[in-house]
Structure 1
Amino acid sequence: MTTELTTQRTFTDAADLLAVIQPATGGRRIMDPATGELVGLAPEHTVPDLESAITAARASQPAWGALTHGERSAFLNGAADAVEASAEALAELLSREQGKPLNGPNARFEVGACAAWLRATASFELEPEVLFDDESGRAELHYRPLGVVGAIGPWNWPMMISTWQLAPALRMGNTVVLKPSGNTPLSVLALGHVLNTALPADVLHVVSGHRDVGAVLAAHPDIAKIMFTGSTATGQDIIRSSADTVKRLTLELGGNDAGIVLPDVDPQAIAEDLFWGAFINTGQTCASLKRLYVHEDIYEEVVDALSQVARAMPMGVGIDETNVLGPLQNKAQFEIVANLVQAAKDDGARIVVGGNPETGQPGYFYPTTLVADIKNDNPLVTEEQFGPALPVVKYSTVDEAVEMANGLEVGLGASVWSSDKDKAREVAARIQAGSVWINKHGTVDPRAPFGGAKMSGYGVEFGVEGLKHLGQPQVISY
């Protein structure tokens, strides 16, 4: 595996990127989920490749960790410059591999978020904290680098979430070995290549491989911390595999976020924000709105307003500039969504929009689907669908809505929708979730810590608190 920096800093299109990340021979075929066409060939790195990457990252960490926060921040800002210089090429490759359209809150948005998060992470101040300084002495709290951080990313926001992981790890003086999802390796390999045009050699390695590579990374004794975004089941496996080395973990796991609409809202005024809270990235977002609880007094009005927005949103091939919704990224996810919607139909739920995927067409397109008059114990409500199908459940009292929202063993995010912000804050405080938004959903900010409650994981990302989770606390007393 090469560790040398490339001198090329600007890539003009996806083909330009593919030319430098595809293997000279062999490789795994990565297909476009919208068209079924070949996107490119991904290198199949092995466990020995991983070992080489970890060895190189470990050797480079002391010098990287010895730099000041300001020096490392300068490198992150340079990496952001490199991303912006090649933004259109990165977005094109991302759209073709992941399926998300270029426009809307999709591919170009994701690449822009990579640069924004790099810059934001570089800007945070983390000075030693004086715990006390009096006649008894002085104590200071410092944060030291951990060593080599292993990052394992998902396929839904492959570039952005990789940046969420690597940026704070590097800023805190750690080096990083990153394993992308097997569904979207090209995007992350390309991002890593672009970043490495602006970073010192060997502080960032991207290793594309099968599950055995990820398993070795999670258990490796030379990895000080694992950052993982993905399913709760895989997160549990990582917890078990980390036990022998007592490595640190940040886990952002499954969501199934609830939204509660109070009876005082204007349905038309909130409809578009509700829609994007649920259907951003075609519903393939950990913290997207996945079950909506609406008061009986305005239930039909909210369902109708949402259906109007849903019908107006074009879905299709991502590189077509007119589309804002794309396919499911893979066949397995398509089948999950289709089976859950069918379970809702079988249980007597009302399909307001969608629910009728075309057969015999290329691509994993499932139509934007709203499901009304559905029971709260239906699988479409209780299981995370991770796709463009939103169940809308009717409630009578706020207590009932809060009880249903808290009824699952996950708690990544939630939202409350009301014209009375004081009332909304009261309801929000009762919801068991790591983030609760009012009159919006899923709008993460690099300055605000983000993490899950209950089985949605532990540890936080973003902001100064996120930086602290990438450092070893050390108290010096004298």
Structure 2
Amino acid sequence: MLTVQNDISISDPATGHHVGSLASATQTEVEDAMALARRSFPLWRHTQAAERGAALRAAAAALRDGAAGLAEIHEHETGRPRDEAMAAIDAGVSTLEQYAELGPVHRGRSLLGSWSATDLMVPEPRGVVVALTPWNDPVAVACGLIGAALVTGNCVVHKPSERCPHTGMRLGELLHDAFPAGVLQTLTGGGAVGARLAGHHDADVVAHVGGVETGRHVAMATARTGAKALLENGGNDPLLVDGDVDPVWAAEQAALGSFANAGQICVSVERIYVHRRQADEFLAALTAAARRFSVPPLVDTEHRDKVHDHVSQALAAGARALTGATIPDGPGAHYPATVLSGCTPDMAVMAEETFGPVAPVMVVPDFATGLVEAVRGRYGLAATVLTADMAHAHEAYRTLRAGTVKVNAVFGGAPGGAAQPRGVSGTGFGYGPELLDEMTTTKLVHLTAPGEAG
């Protein structure tokens, strides 16, 4: 039974001022939402694919029209600067438009059987999709999961993170009118609401983007119900700096990867291995870059304290802070860009996901050792290697156990890319055309005339 929770109260991470409060969904509201989604599914699945695509285009247009107001909420609730919040919303609009085009052409296969029979592999919607989305990129991530699920004929119950409930609710309001009643619903709440949705008997897919521990609970819940789990559970993404690259350029890449959005990007750089030939120049340039970097606040003081705890543990274990590493005076959840040298594999900043503006650096004697260290650990979301040696580049991308490997750029990539995380970082495709496959299931059909031995 879901315990009724207190209202969710949000403070602006930049100023500490109260943003607002929202009531957490009750047990009855959760049950009603799931039941409505189940009742709405037959009509929506029978809606022509082209009409579902048109509905998604209408939703994208509504989101574009409401982007400015949503970006303001996003900024005050999560601390993401207004221009970055707008860019993230634009990405969400583009994602909805892409799935509006991809959905109607999502197809199965015909097979070569006997002359008198037809054999087909037909994709079908799975049913009710529960989407549990994060606070660090709440619009773009939600649009990906919602868009792929709806355009393939599923109904969606969306719970945004309790750290950005106003952003999630406003997104739901903007998209809602493009679809029939019950096809897309939004519920607010914390872990108890998420757990109830993840373990609900009416859920056919539970798509979760967030922390490892929550993802593990989602996987256990779906194992009990038989629902499909689609998980992106965070990472501890390494950056490997080879001995033949410009150390100043490499430091700028490392700063961007470590400090953009205060290190609160799923594929942020979490740990750095630098060739000893480059170490002194690299560390000096990275420290200078960190001091220049304009870092937005972390999402809240609770998360800021977790980041600082990782840093404090590293310092106590022998690491050295070249810049940052202190909680500033004043309101909000600010934390400076921090560079740590002398780090070792057993430190939390190297072994776990810190998810803050921290660049922990370990010096390695050669590329091979750095690659061994980069492979270390239980995560496998993304990794980056900076090298001028094509043999090293090929060795790195083939060896690194990560869903995404970037060579000579910490961010970027062609549209439509999709990857499967490794280890505790998750399972399944979370983006691209392949996400349509995750949201559907395949039925094999054999057609033959009566009396034929097809």
After TM superposition, is the score higher than 0.5? yes
Q: For residues 407 and 423 of structure 1, what CA distance do their matches in structure 2 show?
A: 18
Q: Deviations over 1:180-212 (max 9, x none)?
A: 111111101001100113233221100002322
2:56 corresponds, among 66, 72, 76, to: 76
The structure-2 alpha-carbon separation of the partners of 1:387 and 1:444, relative to structure 1 and needing over 3 Å to count, comes to farther
Q: For residues 254 and 30 of structure 1, what CA distance do their matches in structure 2 show?
A: 23
Q: Deviations over 1:14-41 (max 9, x none)?
A: xxxxxxxxxxxx9543211111111122
Aligned to 1:415: 384
2:308 corresponds, among 338, 355, 360, to: 338
1:373 CA drift (Å): 2.0
Is the 1:461–1:467 Cα contact (8 Å) retained in structure 2? no
Amino acid of the structure 2 residue aligned with 1:301:
E
Q: For residues 273 and 52 of structure 2, what CA distance do their matches in structure 1 show?
A: 45
Q: For residues 135 and 301 of structure 1, what CA distance do their matches in structure 2 show?
A: 71
Aligned to 2:273: 293
Is the 1:219–1:242 Cα contact (8 Å) retained in structure 2? yes
1:283 corresponds, among 238, 245, 263, to: 263
1:249 CA drift (Å): 0.8
Aligned to 2:333: 364
Is the 1:425–1:438 Cα contact (8 Å) retained in structure 2? no
1:135 CA drift (Å): 4.3
Residue 375 of structure 1 pairs with residue 344 of structure 2: yes
Matched pairs, number: 440
Q: For residues 78 and 442 of structure 1, what CA distance do their matches in structure 2 show?
A: 30
Amino acid of the structure 2 residue aligned with 1:119:
E
Is the 1:373–1:392 Cα contact (8 Å) retained in structure 2? yes
Runs of at least 5 residues in structure 1 that lack an aligned partner in the other structure: 1-25, 315-324
1:442 CA drift (Å): 4.4
Amino acid of the structure 1 residue aligned with 2:323:
V
Alignment of 1:373-412 (within 5 A): 373-412=342-381
1:429 CA drift (Å): 0.8
Structure 1, 279-288 or 132-141: larger mean CA deviation: 132-141
1:123 CA drift (Å): 2.3
1:446 CA drift (Å): 4.9
Amino acid of the structure 2 residue aligned with 1:378:
M
Give TM-score scaled by structure 1 length: 0.88
Amino acid of the structure 2 residue aligned with 1:331:
T
Q: Secondary structure at the match of 2:244?
A: coil
Give TM-score scaled by structure 2 length: 0.92
Aligned to 2:246: 266
Is the 2:77–2:167 Cα contact (8 Å) retained in structure 1? yes
Q: Secondary structure at the match of 2:270?
A: strand
Q: Secondary structure at the match of 2:25?
A: coil
Aligned to 1:7: none
Identity of aligned residues (%): 33
Q: For residues 92 and 157 of structure 1, what CA distance do their matches in structure 2 show?
A: 14
Alignment of 1:17-56 (within 5 A): 27-56=7-36
Aligned to 1:350: 320
Q: For residues 9 and 252 of structure 2, what CA distance do their matches in structure 1 show?
A: 38
Aligned to 1:433: 402
Runs of 4 or more, structure 1, over 6 Å off, are none
Alignment of 1:113-192 (within 5 A): 113-124=91-102, 125-132=105-112, 135=115, 137-192=117-172
Q: Secondary structure at the match of 1:141?
A: strand
Q: Secondary structure at the match of 2:399?
A: coil
Amino acid of the structure 2 residue aligned with 1:246:
G
Q: For residues 270 and 250 of structure 2, what CA distance do their matches in structure 1 show?
A: 16
Aligned to 2:291: 311
Q: For residues 121 and 437 of structure 2, what CA distance do their matches in structure 1 show?
A: 11
Is the 1:146–1:174 Cα contact (8 Å) retained in structure 2? yes
Q: For residues 333 and 399 of structure 2, what CA distance do their matches in structure 1 show?
A: 38
Aligned-residue Cα RMSD (Å) equals 1.8
Is the 1:117–1:446 Cα contact (8 Å) retained in structure 2? no
Is the 1:446–1:462 Cα contact (8 Å) retained in structure 2? no
The structure-2 alpha-carbon separation of the partners of 1:173 and 1:392, relative to structure 1 and needing over 3 Å to count, comes to same
Residue 209 of structure 1 pairs with residue 189 of structure 2: yes
Q: For residues 385 and 222 of structure 2, what CA distance do their matches in structure 1 show?
A: 37
Aligned to 2:438: 469
1:55 CA drift (Å): 1.6
